[in-house]
Each structure stands twice: as structure tokens, then as C-alpha cells.
Structure 1
Amino acid sequence: MTQANSLIQKYNVAGPRYTSYPTVPYWEEQDFSLAQWKQSLKRAFNESNAREGMSLYIHLPFCESLCTFCGCHKRVTKKHEMEQPYIQAVLKEWDLYCQLLVEKPIIKEIHLGGGTPTFFSVEHLTQLIQGILVQAEIAEEYEFSFEGHPNNTTREHLQALYDLGFRRVSYGVQDYNEKVQKAIHRIQPFAHVQQVTDWAREIGYTSISHDLVFGLPFQDLADVLHTIDQTNLLRPDRLAFYSYAYVPWIKGNGQRGFKDHDVPKDDLKRQLYEEGKKKLLAQGYYEIGMDHFALSHDKMYQAFQQANLHRNFMGYTSSKTQVMIGLGLSSISDSWYSFAQNEKTLEDYYARLEQNEIPVYRGHILSNEDLVIRQHILNLMCTFTTSWQGQAQTFPELPQVLQQLEEMQKDGLLTIEADHIQITEQGKPFVRNICMAFDLRLSRKMPNNRIFSMTI
């Protein structure tokens, strides 16, 4: 067994992806209330709105068919008459937030996620964004982005959103092998992806992203390399190349359109990543954070080089705001001091809004310890390094964290210096494991049920 394979065997455990700390299973909901969330949000908004603005994530949950690899909250339907009531609900939620904040929000970032945002008509998406912006100002430097499905994104979608200020679009590609596509219920020819990519460029989008996934059912190395070669023909500005989170014990039959042994595991799955990464680097892409790659002209690469990369519930972003408000069912908001998640079902979401309530149903107020650890994990995920200089009093558990990291240092995954650690090139694929050493909530109490995907 090679050293790389032995490390995979050693560190391939279930672990969080760290889009937040504490991770959702450790939110102490019994100590959380809507009133606390409002207070926390107002504090953060007053601190940061004038200085850096805020981010908006808008969840558009409808899909015409179920992609079985998806872990998002969605409603599968072909009834497009559901669009207008949902847009009205999201705008009402935004109005409730604007009433709470009093001062006009300065929007630095908007991201439309799903579900399938391009399920919605051009008219309804225009109504949504115009309704948001009429109560806000746009920051001097801003980024509006959306997720487009290559099978139903029209040139009209792209043009209308461009006219509203959108300059980045992300297309879900996954894999070009038809057998893999059938297994995940996402039949999507290369020609469709090429067409929507070309349209975006012709219209003037400055950042086009493709999402690729490794570890999908029936996928082998030839599939991954072929998908990357096809992707390179289109030369997207950035790429997500991430691991399929196979969690059928959570998602149930939605991730059971194939058998367990059809899903690549362990050494094979790692090979898919390593060889795929090698090809991406050879094609001129740079590795950014965890599972992301970008060309040198893209904002994400520049943010990484300048140590300005940020990570939140939207994933990696090239700009940071302290406040992120999530609109729509299941969306998560973040004030830095606290998290809040909206109702997960359409019925509950609508019911709360009918009562003129912000539809938050759970969340977490971060303790002083949480805030210290959150920053360390954010540093590691975004810059592959973190420092504890001057934290002797605020981080008394540091010695036990460093003790856990000593084994990883022996394995060549990182170096421990007097006041900081640095993840090595060999250690980058294990960044989730390294973050887990800092995760005191995880070390004190493992979840009762397996809820995380494997780290490798």
C-alpha cells in the first residue's frame, strides 16, 4: 500500500464540510429564539452595513424532476403556477427584514440558489430582484450570481438577469457519461452546456462556473478525465470539483437509484480526485480552498491570493460580509454572532409569513469559544493556515488541539510552528480532518446518528 493510500485509509472518516461553525447538529436550539436572532442581526447590521454591506441568499426550491445526487431542500413539481405565490412570500420576508433593520441595506452580494432558479420565468425573476432592490442600495463593488440548469436556462433568462446586474452564473454539469447521468436522473448533453456557456459569454458575463462531481455511481477514472477534458473545451472561469456526499441514511430513496457497490469508495474515489486535480492544474486552473479551482483572471483566484477568500452557507465567495440574510424556505442566515434557519416546508414557511413573522424556526447563538474556533476553521478552509498569537486566554484548549495535530504533522499533512500551523500541499485534501481537530463540540460529543459524509 502506498503512503497516499494508507493516509486515505487512516483519515477517511465521517466529518463536516464546515460551511459553518458550530455545524448544524451542534446548534443549541433550546437557547435560541427569534427575538435573539433579531437582536443579533441588528447588532451586526449596525456594525457592518455602512462599512461592507450585506449578502443575500435567495432559495428558489422548485424543480421539474428529482436529481438523485442532490442534498438540497426542494419541491419537485411541474406546476409553474406556484412561482408567483412564492415570489410574493420571499418579498414579504424581505420587507419584514427591512422593517426590522430600519436603515436601508447596502447589498454587496446576491446569490440565487435552489432547487432550480431557472424553473422560474424571466418575468418572475425580474419581479423578485426588482422587489429586493427597491428597498436597498447596491454597493459600489458588488457581485450578483445565480445557479442555472443547462437544460432550461434560456438566453432570455441570462439577458434579463444580466440587465439586473448579474455577472456570474454557475452551471451544474456533474459528469458527461450517460450511464452516470441516468443513475443520478440528470440527462444533460454537452451541447446544452456549451450553448448556455456561449450565451453567457456573448451577453457579457464575466465569471462562468461549472460544477463537477466525483464519486458518482458507476463513475470511473475515464469518466472523470473525459468530463474535465470536455469542460476545458469551454474554459469556464472557475470550477467546483467536489465529492459526492453519499448519505442515503439521511436522504432515503432519493439517493437509492443504484446500489451501494455502484458508488466509488476509498482508494478509487481518491484516485478520481487526485487524477482530476492533476489534469485541472495542467490545464491552467489554480486550486482555491477546498474542492474549488479558478483561472488567474477570476475574482476567486485573486481573493485567494490576497487572503480575502470567505466561506459561508453559500460556499466560497470572493468577498466577505458580516451579515448574510437567507430568504426562502430552509435558507440560513448569519450575523457572525448567530445563525438562523427558515422553516423547511413550503406550508410552514407560508404560514409564518401569513402571521407577519420572519419564518425562522431554529438557530444558534455563538459563545465566545465558538467565535474563536469559527475563525480558526474559516482561516484553514480559506487560506490553509491559522495563527493563535495572543490567544492564550481566549483559547485554553489549544494544547489539546495541537496534541491531536501532532499525528497529522508526522504524516506530512501540516507543520506546527510557534504560533501557527500551515497545511502542506499533501495535506490540502485532508483540510476537513484538520479542521475537525479544532472542533471542540465534535470532540466532546459525537452526533447520535451518522449525519456527515466521508471526508475522502
Structure 2
Amino acid sequence: MKSLIQKYNIPGPRYTSYPTVPYWDATTFSKEKWLKNFKKSFEESNQAEGISLYIHLPFCESLCTFCACHKHITKRHEVEIPYIKTLIKEWELYREKMTQVPVIKEIHLGGGTPTFFASEQLKELINSILEGSQKHPDFEFSFEGHPNNTTKEQLETLYNLGFTRVSFGIQDYDSTVQKAIHRIQSFENVKQVTKWAREIGYTSVSHDLIFGLPFQTKESITDTILKTRELLPDRISFYSYAHVPWVKGVGQRGFSEEHLPKSDEKRALYELGKQMLTNIGYHEIGMDHFALPSDNLFKATTSQKLHRNFMGYTSSKTKLMIGLGMSAISDSWYGFAQNVKTVKEYQALVNNGEIPVFRGHILTDEDLVIRKHILNIMCHFSTNWKAKEMHFEALPKSIELLEEIASDNLIAIDSNSLNVAQEARPFIRNICMAFDVRLQRKKPETKLFSMTI
């Protein structure tokens, strides 16, 4: 395994979309084309499966040096009301283009720090979206919370609005690691907010952990997992730290690269954490996720309904996901669109009556087929091209690229299908890269992606 890690630990996408963002085609994209795709997807799927909303709440009071999200650092809470009002206006701009009453299946509040916002602001936002909409019978509303500033009032307010899942960003409990990543929070704070959530009635509490952080050791990972066992969250994201300072600038330069675990050491941290989580009773889901058998993410895996998008793994899928807020990405299945990346520009465009999209990609027929293959591999660890509609022109080249991976016993491949071996999950991104014809046709000349392992 050690030699394979050294062989395959190369820069590669995480495949929360296909094509990946660096390979979006600006020459064929326009806001008009995006809105046409949006309307098509809405009319095809709204009544049958509903739509999803991702709402980006970008404000944070301090900068975490591991974070690769689009955020705005401020302690000035007077920014809350103008931003919430702009989100509501953006939703209204989309509502004007809908020919039916929207059926809301999913809402996810991401960030940034959603719990930066006061309860009354969050309540105004959600009520404004739900007014004139319908909730899908199987709706799931979720949000991300910071253990240091999530209040019981916020948890109760969102629960009363229909939120039943909350994810708390933990990362690591070791004080040296916390200091290096500027994310200092006590186990007691995490224990308190987890306890509140369960007492209030949340059915899924998730903890986000990261391996590969500066100064992490087997001892610190062990301590973090033992503390996690005490609280037993329903779901765990155990992410690989993506070190991309050339993309995110000063935030990820808050420590020296020499303090990061090397590739073999980093993978050993994951394998240790994975074994401990498995011993506790968690099941590995897709890539870097774990869930108890009672959680919807595990149930989605067993029923083959697991999905992956810009929010990571989800327990269900909607064809249309509308991204609201600064930098938010929308997905109509046929196309992607991203909003402008600064709060100032976002508010100016929306308040001028414009949907604030500044770039995107309209998927070609080839893109759509490859997207299905990559989703199959990322979610179900297998794919096949038995049906004619799963063929694409470069498929023989992809199969050729997979032969070396097969020779390393990481996949089983025949004339019509591919299956990923259990022990090959660390290499899942490498396997997907063989299908990524846009990446194969134009190798990046500069650093674009984090390391795959």
C-alpha cells in the first residue's frame, strides 16, 4: 500500500462536479443559457422530486487557516440584515422565473459561519423562502454550526422551521493543532451543542473532522476519535486536508508546509481513524464519510440513492439545486453557474435586479455521460457502459488508462463494467481521473488541485 500511495498521490480533483470548475468552458456559457437550463430543469423535476437550495452565509469572526471556503472575515454584525435582505431578493429573482409553486426538498445553510447570524435573521430568511412554496413530503433541512457560537436559541429556531440535521465543524481536539489552524474550541463546547441538538429533537448530528493538518500525530487522531466516541454523532465527515495556498492565498499560509504530515504519514492517520470509527460501529460511506446504521446517509448507501454534489455526499438527489448568496454554485444537471465572489459585488448586482452569476458551464452530451460515470464511481464504487447511452467517444482511451490501475489490483474491469476493490477507496479520485477527458485533453500547466491521497 505504501508504494501505491507514493505512486498515485498526485494532484487531482475531488469531483464534487463534472466538469470540475477549472475546466468550465467560458466560451459557451452565458447567463441566458444558464437561465434556460434552469427553467428546463425546474419544469422537469419540481413536481416529481422537488428542488434544493444551498444558501451561502459567508461571514466569520476569525480566519481558520485550514479553510478553503469563500468567506468574509468581520466582527461587525450589522452586516447581517443587509445580507439577509439580499438573499431574499435573489430568491425572488429566481421565483419570478418559475412557472409553478416551488417544492422545496432540501435547504442547506453553509458558510462561512451560518451561526454568525442571529436567530431572528435566520428565521426571516427561511420564512421568506417557504412563504409561497411547498415543502416536499421527504424534505431535509440542514445547517453548519460553529460549536463556539451556536446557541440553544438558534438550534430551537431552526428546528421549529423544519431543520433536523446539523453539522458541527470540529477538525481536531489537539491544542497544538487547533492553535496552528486558528480554530480553538473546547470539547466541552462541542459536547454542549451536541447535547442541545439532541434534546431539541435533531435526528442527525454530524461532526466534521480533518486529517493531514499541521502537527497532527497518531496520538492526536486517537484522542480526537476517543472524544468523538463519547458523543457518538450520527454522521462523521473525516476529510483530507486540501493544502492549496496558491488558490486561497494568505489563509492557508498560516503555518509552514514542513509541519504537515507527509503522504504516507497522512494516509496512516486516516487508516487509524477509519479503523477506530469502524470499531465503534460506523460504516464508511463513499470517500471520507462515515455514518451509523440509523443515519440517512447509511440508508442511502444501502438503497443506492447516495448522491454527490457541491455540498459533498447527500442522502438524496434533486436535479435542480439553486445556490443563493455570494460565491454560491447552482446546478441544473445540464449546467452550473457560480455567483460573484465578493459580498459588495453580490449585493450590488442583486439590488439592481440582476441574478448575480458571473461564470458557469453548460454540459455537452459527452459531459453528461461522463458525469454519470464519475458519480457512479464516487457514490457506488462501480460503473458500467453496457447501455449505448453510457458510451462516449473517448471511452476506449479511458479503459486504456484504467489498465494500469487494474494491474495494481485496485479495480476489476471487463468489457462492460468497472468495480472498485474495497482496499482501493483511497485511490477513488485517481480512478475517476481516467474518465475525465477534459483533464486528459488539457493537462494543467500550474497547480490547480490538492493531492489525491
Q: Report 1:257-406 matches (<5 A).
A: 257-391=254-388, 394-406=391-403
Contact 1:290 1:428 in 2 (8 A): yes
Deviates more, 1:393-402 or 1:309-318: 393-402
Runs (4+) off by over 3 Å: none
Question: Alpha-carbon deviations, 1:54-104, whole Å to 9, x = none?
Answer: 000000000000011010111100000000000000000000000011311
Contact 1:98 1:135 in 2 (8 A): no
Q: CA deviation at 1:396?
A: 2.5
- Counterpart for residue 132 of structure 1: 129
Matched, 1:180 2:188: no
Q: CA deviation at 1:225?
A: 1.3
Number of residue pairs matched by the alignment: 453
- Counterpart for residue 18 of structure 1: 15
Query: SS of the residue aligned with 2:104?
Result: strand
Question: Alpha-carbon deviations, 1:211-264, whole Å to 9, x = none?
Answer: 000000011111111101100100000100010001112222211121110011
Query: SS of the residue aligned with 2:12?
Result: coil
Matched, 1:448 2:448: no
Structure 1 regions of 5+ residues with no counterpart?
Answer: none
Percent identical: 60
Q: CA deviation at 1:42?
A: 0.3
Structure 2 regions of 5+ residues with no counterpart?
Answer: none
Contact 2:385 2:391 in 1 (8 A): no
- Counterpart for residue 434 of structure 2: 437
Q: CA deviation at 1:392?
A: 7.5
Query: SS of the residue aligned with 1:78?
Result: coil
Instruction: Give the whole-Å Cα distance in 2 for the aligned partners of 1:359 and 1:346.
Output: 11
Identify the match of residue 65 of structure 1 among 62, 67, 77: 62
Instruction: Give the whole-Å Cα distance in 2 for the aligned partners of 1:141 and 1:253.
Output: 42
Contact 1:412 1:426 in 2 (8 A): no
Matched, 1:196 2:193: yes
Contact 1:25 1:447 in 2 (8 A): no
- Counterpart for residue 105 of structure 2: 108
Instruction: Give the whole-Å Cα distance in 1 for the aligned partners of 2:147 and 2:236.
Output: 15
Matched, 1:147 2:144: yes
Instruction: Give the whole-Å Cα distance in 2 for the aligned partners of 1:292 and 1:229.
Output: 17
Q: Report 1:223-234 matches (<5 A).
A: 223-234=220-231
Q: Report 1:206-245 matches (<5 A).
A: 206-245=203-242
* Cα distance change, pair 392–100 in 1 and its aligned pair in 2 (3 A): closer
Instruction: Give the whole-Å Cα distance in 2 for the aligned partners of 1:253 and 1:392.
Output: 45
Instruction: Give the whole-Å Cα distance in 1 for the aligned partners of 2:27 and 2:135.
Output: 37
- Counterpart for residue 72 of structure 2: 75
Counterpart of 1:104, as a letter, is V
Instruction: Give the whole-Å Cα distance in 2 for the aligned partners of 1:212 and 1:85.
Output: 32
Question: Alpha-carbon deviations, 1:5-44, whole Å to 9, x = none?
Answer: 0000000000000000000011111211111111000001
Query: SS of the residue aligned with 1:438?
Result: coil
Matched, 1:85 2:82: yes
Deviates more, 1:441-450 or 1:336-345: 441-450
Q: Report 1:392-431 matches (<5 A).
A: 394-431=391-428
Counterpart of 2:433, as a letter, is M
